[in-house]
Structure 1
Amino acid sequence: MKILECKRIDTQNYDNITYIRIEPEDISVTLREIISSLSDMSWISRFDKPYVRDCFLKRADESAKYLADKIHKNIDDVITKDSGEYVVSELARKALVRQLQYLDVPLAELFKEQVSGNPGFDFYSANNDNIIIFGEAKYNSRKNAYGVGMEQVDRFIREGQDLSDLNDIDKFFEDESLDYANNGDKAYAIAFASKGTSSETIIKGIVSNSHYTNIAENKEVLYLAVNI
């Protein structure tokens, strides 16, 4: 995975919006790396209570097998709707950790209660100010998917889905971060398949989107374009 761009956008109006463009390079290698990452359960050891470790291990093991099977079916350089959002989620999550040194939280599917089809956000992190980042990933094989991602994040904000998710993610964050979120100090990441469209065109589309301003009013917003 290579970071092609990482820059602030729309700085005349906001100082909290970052655009990141991600190049998976060899997609078959990327898919194998994601499968390997899914099977790495070392993050469970950070929890000191046995019942917490056992609970996460059971959920993560079941989900990792499910996701790996979905992705493995696309291993020959092909991404489909079935696995696309998982791939976008994982690459975006890694970009936040590697490029910005934000908090490393495993993919949400690995620790949420259901094996698949969980409602709510797809990935999480926290920035250097301990503000929780709620991430949504979208994949479309025919066009850039930022529009549907922005619509869903805006809707989730209005519906309070981020606050509903706190019970699922509380063990990964400091109390300070959870208090910030509960008091309305939150950040959002929208990751999407970006196809061959130029970053200039994508950014213009993002800024002109009807949901842009509502999302921008938060502590931090990140748009992550993934070239798949």
Structure 2
Amino acid sequence: MEVVSCGPIDIVALGKAHGCLVVGIHIKIKDLDSRASEMLETISNTSWINEFGAVKKISFEARAKRTIQKLVDLIVNRSETELTTDFGEYLVSDSAQCVLNLNCNHLKVPLAELLKEKVSGNPGFDFHTESCESLIAFGEAKYSGSINPYTKALQQIVDFISLEKDSAELDLLENFVSAGAITNYLAGHKAYVAAFSINSEEPERIISKAVSHALTDKLLAYKELYIIGVEIDVG
């Protein structure tokens, strides 16, 4: 995974309200096999479960077991030439988490699907991190093999905020983030991440369009916003 660009965006120059840290990130995945191997290693590492007491350990193990097998099958059986939406979105989620961890000093939280039962409809955000400013970052990932689905990612975040799905996840996230992050959340201070696949010869232009989108304006009331474009070479 190559990080092509990663840095803050001057939203004042775009005529947008100041106060939110907006970071644009462009990732390029050239070796899908290598990235898939890294994902298998990540998803199979359940050492985080051992940090809990007996009751929580049993609960997390029961939830994670089925999801891990499903994701392992998804990765191992992926098509070499055409990615499915399910695998693509997991690839975008995991890659976004990794770049936030390695390049922005975020703390990774176990994949959301490992922590909660999937119910009818979309259960909530795809992934989470804790930023270096002790903010919980709620991430949404969208994949397409033909378009640049940043609008879908941004719209999903706006919809989830309206439905208070971030607040609904707080009891689970409390097990993985700092007390300071919880205090910040209760004070209304949080972050969001829109991650999406890029299908364009001008990826930086796509990221700029996502930053300039009207839906992005609705997220500038929060402390931090990350716009992550994932360019995938499927060979």
TM-score by length of 1: 0.92
Number of the residue aligned with 1:119 = 123
Q: Does 1:26 align with 2:20?
A: no
Number of the residue aligned with 1:90 = 94
The farther-off stretch of 175-184 and 56-65 is 175-184
Whole-Å Cα distance in 2 between the matches of residues 30 and 196 of structure 1? 21
Mind listing any 5+ residue stretches in structure 2 that lack a counterpart? none
Aligned-residue offset at 1:141: 1.3
Q: Pick from 57, 61, 65: which aligns with 1:57?
A: 61
Q: Does 1:177 align with 2:181?
A: yes
Whole-Å Cα distance in 2 between the matches of residues 204 and 185 of structure 1? 25
Computed over aligned residues only, the root mean square deviation of the Cα atoms, in angstroms, reads 1.9
Give 3-state SS (helix, strand or coil) of 2:152's partner.
helix
If asked which structure has higher relative contact order (CA below 8 Å, sep 6+), I would say 2
Residue pair 2:211, 2:227 contacting (<8 A) in 1 also: no
Identity of aligned residues (%): 33
Number of the residue aligned with 2:45 = 40
Aligned-residue offset at 1:77: 4.8
Number of the residue aligned with 1:5 = 5
The farther-off stretch of 72-81 and 138-147 is 72-81
Residue pair 2:193, 2:226 contacting (<8 A) in 1 also: yes
Residue pair 1:31, 1:75 contacting (<8 A) in 2 also: no
After TM superposition, the structure 1 = structure 2 runs for residues 1-228 of structure 1, keeping only pairs within 5 Å, are 1-12=1-12, 13=16, 14=18, 16-47=21-52, 49-74=53-78, 76-114=80-118, 119-228=123-232
Question: What is the aligned residue count?
Answer: 227
Aligned-residue offset at 1:162: 0.9
Mind listing any 5+ residue stretches in structure 1 that lack a counterpart? none
